[in-house]
Structure 1
């Protein structure tokens, strides 16, 4: 798996990976208010963040340069010693094969080596067991209190996690 900066053409792949509403809520419920989203929704939102210089989307590719995953690193505030990891998602055909943990490890490496961050944080819904297991095995631990958000007629608890780099 290799990383490269996100390009607008990658948005079509991301939309296809979250084509089911329940899955959409697991991955990006706090970022987009409605479903479905379009590739243009992603491109427009990313352009705004990238322009500000604190938002860095990446695409993971396989040996054939085909997109297999995606994530965002961003600075949550002016203190650039902390980064936030978000919107970690894999192509459906590669899920359950350990690639999620590999993608998270690459994100941690970039946050530490490229951006010189000292800590990486994220928020993950407790209903997304696969993501929780992946982040826990990558060294993330729960921090602070958890907030609750209503989605699809359920209350979902968003767990805040962090890891030292």
Structure 2
């Protein structure tokens, strides 16, 4: 009987050890499952954070594009206004008025010793300054003196107004 009792005690001890081992295995499984769930939750949190950042970046990009588009539209409107203002405020271009006094200041002095040089210089200044040729005879009579003036006055009036070299 003692042997039966020892066997029963041994069976109980082994059963208790089996239960303890099962409990340890179950605890380890639960621990692994908890760690796996925790990792999954962390990964889900990271995915959600990444998605939130992507949405935020997309929103910022959209806002930047909208601001850029508005700036372009504003520049276009400003250019149109500037062009419109310029055409409205710019007077029609008129032919410049010929100023005799200004032109006289540029005419070289007449010398009786070298009339050819004077006339060459006179024509060069007139052409360079874009003085109208029909005004040249008026300018010429204002600077001639001595024999040059006498020669000019001896011409008929029609001829004086049509002087060419």
TM-score of the superposed pair, with normalisation by structure 2: 0.23
More strand by share: 1
